[in-house]
Structure 1
Amino acid sequence: MRGNLRYLIALIVGGFSLITYYCNRQTNPVTGETQHVNMTTEQEIALGLQAAPEMAQQYGGLYPDQEAQNTIDRIGNAIIQGSPAVRSPYKFDFHLLADDQTINAFALPGGQVFVTAGLVKKLSSEGQVAGVLAHEIGHVIERHSAQQLAKSQLTQGLSGAAAIGMYDSNRPGGSIANAAIAAAIAKVVSLRFSREDELEADRVGVDYVADAGYDPRSLLQVMQVLEQSGGGGGGPEFLQTHPNPGNRTQEIQQEIQRRFPNGVPAGLKP
């Protein structure tokens, strides 16, 4: 009887998680894609603004050179104004972080985009900087943070249901192991989602860079810079926070070929 009740509770928890996830759908205001998200764009903006100061502080605050910040703003705004991102409800802010040792860039929901001085000093052209910023803008436009939050709640609910269903009061040690397995499955699912997001942001980055008048092959150069920066250690933080499935370069090349089937035209800024 206890076992039947446990399975019933697990089914209820799992079913509620699935229903909540699949019923919360919104249309992306830029792409027109229907997405599973459970927050509004206004909530994304508020969340990003709230988290931005703390995130900047983790990297030593903002870079003190206003001229360098102005350059980042100019490139970032050129991407916004020249691409479909201009139609988005987000108010993009670009932040050059003071940390000159860490190689990283990231975006918060709602349009807060960050790049470290450590990454910028590794880049040798405006096009490469544009490639990094366009990639992060892609994450915002595609609402990846909101999607990840919804997926995280789903996987947590399903792993919780699995833990309930596999619990055995006569074998508590085995139940703990089963719960760990359920949590590991949830983590693997989340990682797969993250990898898909990275590839999508790369594809968006190619298009947005080209829209702004930059050579999209700069994104391939950024990948080379990141690989060379890995050295013999654990690699740059960028590659740790941006899961690398191993075929990002190939995906970027394919997107460039799709966008420019007759070859990248001359005259684009490097």
Structure 2
Amino acid sequence: MKLVTKKLALTLVSLCVLAACSTSPTGRSQLTLLPSSQLNSMGADSFQQIKQQEQVSDDPAANAYVQCLTDAIVEVLPEKYADQSWEVVVFESEMVNAFALPGGYLGVYTGMIRLAENQHQLAAVMGHEVGHVMAEHSSERLSGNLLVGGLLMGADFALSDRPTSQRALIMAGLGLGAQVGYMLPYSRAHESEADEIGLDLMAKAGFDPEEAPKLWERMQEMSDGGGPPELLSTHPSPSTRIRALSRQVPDVMGDYEARLAQGPAPQCERPAWADEPVEEG
């Protein structure tokens, strides 16, 4: 049993050493164990499932709006992502959400279109979601789950000679520690990193980066102080994001001004219905 545990530990350490060579677009060291081809395949499967589960909008104005924003953002992506054929879908739902998946898939909910007051704020959201893909956060999350699962398995083996009740208590504590001390902070780091990448993308694409903090002010108003404490959340609090983005805006203003100097900025027309009150159903 001890030999099995030792081999497992050595395997995990070897994987971590190999993964340490991987870095995100912001220069952060990453744990990424899955190849891009596998991630892209998983992204395609997930997108098809979501399209089957959610109501796809056929509203021409909404689709043209989101496609216009996507085209502008994709134009400034690194070649690896710009060369992908991005599939963009608007979902008919008042859920305030948007997402991007590996392989070139982007979804935006009509609730998010309503919340974002202008094209710049929606570009901040979409840039953020594309930032997750560029930084391979999905691979990092899956890899982290594999690592934590392997370590917990090794701990369970090592504790095999303990009484069942004691073993269960120790494993529960280790699991909670891994969640609060590793997985949740990692998830919050991903969100902050995607904010940073998204801000850079929107500025280079010709969208006003000063609108990004304003979007999170809108989010903060909507949440009205609700939600779990930041320590136990997968996302930074709106106030944390507002402060971080506000500090980062000056760093990308040069890119924004350079894009405006090249020619007219994108003029993506927001649907007229986005300002209308939501009908109670």
Same fold (TM over 0.5): yes
Q: Is the 8 A contact 1:134 1:208 kept in 2?
A: yes
- 2:40 counterpart of 1:52: no
Q: Which runs of 5+ in 2 are unaligned?
A: 268-281
Q: In structure 2, how many angstroms separate the alpha carbons of the residues matched to 1:91 and 1:150?
A: 26
User: Does 2:139 correspond to 1:146?
Assistant: yes
Distance 1:180 1:33, change over 3 A: closer
| Cα distance, 1:143–1:230 mapped onto 2, change above 3 Å | same
Q: TM-score, normalised by structure 2?
A: 0.79
Q: Distance in 1 between matches of 2:29 and 2:224?
A: 41
8 Å CA contact retained: 2:209, 2:252: no
- The alpha carbon displacement at 1:164 in A equals 2.3
Gaps of 5+ in 1: none
Measured in 2, the distance between the counterparts of 1:231 and 1:10 equals 48
Kindly indicate whether residue 113 of structure 2 is the aligned counterpart of residue 120 of structure 1.
Answer: yes
Q: Determine if the alignment matches structure 1 residue 84 to structure 2 residue 77.
A: yes
Which amino acid letter does the alignment assign opposite residue 38 of structure 1?
Answer: L
Aligned-partner Cα distance in 1 for 2:166–2:27: 47
Cα deviation, 1:24-69, whole Å, max 9, x if unaligned, reads 57767977887432232222221111110212344x2211213311
Of the three residues 33, 39, 43, the one matched with 1:38 is 33
| 1:108 paired residue number | 101
Identical aligned pairs, as a percentage?
23
* Aligned residue in 2 for 1:184: 176
- How far apart are residue 207 of structure 1 and its match? 0.8
1:248 paired with 2:241, answer yes
Alignment pair present for 1:67 and 2:61: yes
Name the count of aligned residue pairs.
257
C-alpha change, 1:48 and 1:215, in structure 2 (3 Å) is same
Paired position in structure 2 for 1:260: 253
Question: Scaled by the length of structure 1, what TM-score is found?
Answer: 0.82
Distance (whole Å) between structure 2 residues aligned to residue 73 and residue 123 of structure 1: 16
> 2-side partners of 1:233 and 1:28: how far apart?
34
> Aligned letter for 1:177?
L
Contact 1:128–1:222, Cα closer than 8 Å, also in 2: yes
1:174 has 2:166 as partner: yes
Aligned AA for 1:223? Answer: W
> How far is the alpha carbon of 1:232 from its aligned partner?
6.5
Residues 190 and 33 from structure 1, CA distance in 2 versus in 1: closer, same or farther, beyond 3 angstroms? closer
Deviation at 1:108, TM superposition (A): 2.0
* RMSD of aligned alpha carbons: 3.2
Structure-1 residue corresponding to 2:93 = 99
Q: Which residue of 2 aligns with 1:193?
A: 186
